[in-house]
């Protein structure tokens, strides 16, 4: 327990390191580009606008309500998948640094996590633009975005530590998780609304944990409020994930360099 506490506390205190590190990662990816990091926002924005026009025709939906739904869904999903997929490779990608410099393992997780949050704060301008175009007015419930992001951040830490260790030890797991995320993408109401599934088929949505994670962020962005079930599922998974991660990290955390 002492090893884990020391690792996490030391990493959090060195916040300037992983904040700068993550920002430099993004800048390096788009160096010598005039738009820089806004290229990823432009790409997502074009995708959202294109899909909204197509799906509004296919589903016979009013684009004034469908586009905000898709925009907030895509932005939230991008953050979720980024935390999961990059979390799988967090230690593998940092192999050189881990072998040469003694840093808290959590600092590598925070580096990748903040990279996803920087991307999210770029993408949020798409939601703001769509809200302005279609007159989606913020309400007091919009402030629920902040506790939702706090929960995302906490989940990002344990997901990065846990999946990072598992995927470092078993190198086939990242491909399995990537494939699973692609499948979950189609059964999560991102391009379509939850009301499309009723009766027994509603089980597909309610049993999907990522749907609840998506809702605690999307609903406030649309001026609404997530349900108590959404919050309960997210809090339960967060608590369970932290407990499992503490156990696994205490038991296997020191073996990470030997698995690389």
Please give the pLDDT value at position 145. 93
Point out the residues of the chain with pLDDT beneath 70: 1-5, 30-37, 197, 199
Task: Kindly state the percentage of the chain with pLDDT values over 70.
Answer: 93
Distance CA 120, CA 80 (A): 10
pLDDT at res. 44: 82
Q: What is the CA radius of gyration of the chain?
A: 19
Non-local (6+) Cβ contacts of 151 within 8 A are: 216, 234, 235, 238
pLDDT tens digits, 21-44: 777 777 777 666 666 667 777 888
Altogether, the residues listed in the chain come to a count of 260
Residue 181 CB coordination number (10 Å): 17
Please tell me the predicted confidence (pLDDT) of residue 175: 92
pLDDT value of position 149: 94
For the entire predicted model, the pTM comes to: 0.90
State the pLDDT at residue 37.
63
**134 within 8 A of 68, measured Cβ to Cβ:** yes
First to last CA, the chain: 23
Residue numbers of the domain that contains 31? 2-259
CB 28 within 8 A of CB 19: no
For the chain, the domain total comes to 1
Q: Which two tokens stand for residue 222?
A: 């649309």
């Amino acid at each position: 327990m002492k090893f884990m506490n020391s690792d996490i506390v030391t990493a959090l205190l060195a916040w300037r390191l992983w904040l700068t590190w993550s920002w430099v990662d993004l800048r390096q990816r788009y160096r010598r580009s005039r738009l820089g990091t806004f290229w990823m926002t432009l790409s997502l924005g074009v995708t959202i606008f294109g899909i909204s026009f197509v799906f509004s025709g296919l589903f016979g939906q009013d684009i004034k309500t469908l586009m905000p739904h898709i925009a907030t869904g895509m932005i939230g999903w991008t953050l979720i998948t980024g935390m999961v997929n990059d979390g799988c490779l967090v230690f593998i990608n940092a192999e050189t640094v881990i072998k040469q410099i003694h840093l808290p393992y959590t600092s590598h997780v925070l580096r990748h996590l903040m990279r996803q949050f920087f991307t999210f704060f770029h993408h949020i301008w798409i939601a703001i633009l769509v809200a302005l175009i279609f007159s989606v007015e913020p309400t007091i419930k919009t402030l629920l975005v902040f506790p939702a992001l706090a929960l995302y951040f906490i989940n990002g830490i344990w997901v990065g530590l846990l999946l990072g260790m598992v995927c470092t030890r078993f190198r086939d797991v990242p491909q399995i998780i990537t494939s699973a995320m692609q499948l979950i993408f189609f059964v999560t109401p991102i391009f379509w609304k939850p009301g499309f599934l009723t009766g027994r088929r509603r089980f597909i949505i309610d049993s999907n944990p990522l749907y609840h994670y998506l809702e605690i962020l999307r609903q406030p962005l649309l001026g609404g409020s997530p349900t108590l079930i959404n919050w309960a599922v997210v809090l339960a998974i967060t608590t369970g994930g932290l407990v499992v991660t503490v156990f696994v990290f205490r038991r296997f955390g020191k073996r990470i360099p030997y698995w690389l």
